[in-house]
Amino acid sequence: MTSSASSASPPSSLPSLLIVDDDPLIVDTLRYVLEREFELLSANSRSAAIATVRQRGGHLDVALIDLGLPPLTNRPDEGLALISELLAHDPHCKIIVLSGQNEEAHARHARTLGALEFIAKPAQPELLRAALQRAQQLRKQELAVVSASQALERIVGESPVILAARAQLRRFAGSHFPVLIEGESGAGKEVAAQALHELSGAQRRFVALNCAAIAPGLIEATLFGHTRGAFTGAQAAQAGYFEEAADGTLFLDEIGELPLELQPKLLRVLENGEYQRVGETQKRIVRARIIAATNRDLQQEVRGGRFRADLFHRLSVLRVRMPALRQTGDDKLILLDHYKRIFSEQMGLPPFRITPDALQCWLAYDFPGNVRELRNIVIRLLVRYAGQTVGREELEAEQEADVVTKSVDIDSAAPVLPAPGTVRDIAPSGVDLPAVLRRVERDYIAAALQQSHGNMSQAARLLGINRSTLYNRMETLARHGEDFGTAGVQGAQ
């Protein structure tokens, strides 16, 4: 992993661009083309990319990523997983896929997960530069909208489930009790947390931390702060997120990703309101209100022993569920008009029109990426068809219908081992048990990946393991030559 910034301008004056590609020649070429316009960072794998983003505190303006990354360079799995992880770190990061794996199914899936555009290799420099400029412009406009908006205006819709969510946020705003916001990825959990903070009338700070974005060994110091010399690399004392939030709001996103061994420490803070920086004995008092969010079913996680029951009950004194877009009915049309108006004004483009046939297609689509996916589809349609009429064919090209309709029951993944108790004899030549077990593991991982549409967190939950374990198992299997594409399912495609 390497990182580089332009020598012509201070890094702070340029938008950050992370290039993720395992081909050094491509990285060097892109650096040469783009170094005057961006603060350039580079990584050659998904893990290296996440480490780079974590070093920056989780903030990233734009990412340009390949899909075929080690250890599965011939498949899109790593790149697709990276899209979700980058957005978990920074929901406003704009992702452009630059890949030689340019099958339409891959492009659709990447856009569904949150990628703004998909560009096939090789790409003309001016085409790539224009796409990056659009991405950066959209990020700036989006952040400006977030900072200037009123409390509930960003939670758009009139369906009963949306009205219920807004009513709960109003009702809970005046309380200082913790709030747990539940919902799928892209459903607007952070927007709901910001609205809850604003509705409370507080003019104080809103501090957000994504628990999935911090390395497990750094979470305690990140939350509570540390003294100088508390651990290797701690060259100066530093306040943690609890301290930075002061008497405002601390938003802990993806709380379900918090390692089990760290959960008691958070529980103690919630129970008695006291904490200590790592490496010191002085007690400090928590004054911030805690809001947590998760896309997991935490009650199921408790039953599976992956989340503490006492911490769940402490966090979920008040609960709000942000509905999936497929549950909101005609709100899809309201959101279409909402984002079409906003981005038409911001980009200075005439809005597109949509045929009745295409509108029916819009209403029938499930939007597995929820509001985030819908917003990105509107942006792409506006860029491509400003002032024009969009028909069913043009709309379907932006939807991942083939992926959405696929479904595999993980229980139907046929194991290659006989069922327990059915083995009676072993051939005189013996059996390569490790290889057989690897094939069984491969089959179930592949089935889980397909059922979860490539979402690594969901696949890990189906398999009853945590996400980091799933990554490690896939890397180990890949080193032994196990190809998930031969398992009878298509994995994350």
pLDDT band at 410 (very low <50, low <70, confident <90, very high): very low
Between 491 and 128, whose confidence is greater?
128
Query: What pLDDT sits at residue 202?
Result: 57
402 pLDDT higher than 80: no
Highest mean pLDDT among 143-152, 254-263, 404-413, 475-484: 254-263
- Check the CA dihedral 473-474-476-481 and report its sign: positive
Domains and CATH numbers, the chain: 2-148 (3.40.50.2300), 160-323 (3.40.50.300), 328-404 (1.10.8.60), 410-421+431-486 (1.10.10)
- Longest CA pairwise span in the chain (Å): 77
Please compute the mean of the pLDDT values over residues 226-231 and round it to a whole number.
76
Mean pLDDT lowest for which of 124-133, 278-287, 303-312, 433-442? 433-442
Going from the C-alpha of 307 to that of each of 312, 313, 366, the distances in angstroms are: 7, 11, 30
332 pLDDT higher than 90: yes
Please compute the mean of the pLDDT values over residues 388-413 and round it to a whole number.
62
Give DSSP secondary structure letters for 382-421.
HHHHTTSEE-HHHHHTTS-HHHHT----GGGS--SSPPTT
216 pLDDT higher than 50: yes
Query: What pLDDT sits at residue 161?
Result: 93
pTM of the model: 0.62
pLDDT band at 400 (very low <50, low <70, confident <90, very high): low
Please compute the mean of the pLDDT values over residues 171-179 and round it to a whole number.
89
Please compute the mean of the pLDDT values over residues 107-114 and round it to a whole number.
81
180 pLDDT higher than 90: yes
Between 17 and 409, whose confidence is greater?
17
Q: Which of 84, 23, 118, 56 is nearest to 41 (CA)?
A: 56
Query: What pLDDT sits at residue 439?
Result: 79
Between 340 and 413, whose confidence is greater?
340
Please compute the mean of the pLDDT values over residues 71-78 and round it to a whole number.
82
Highest mean pLDDT among 94-98, 245-249, 398-402, 424-428: 94-98
Q: CA–CA separation, 156 vs 172, rounded Å?
A: 19
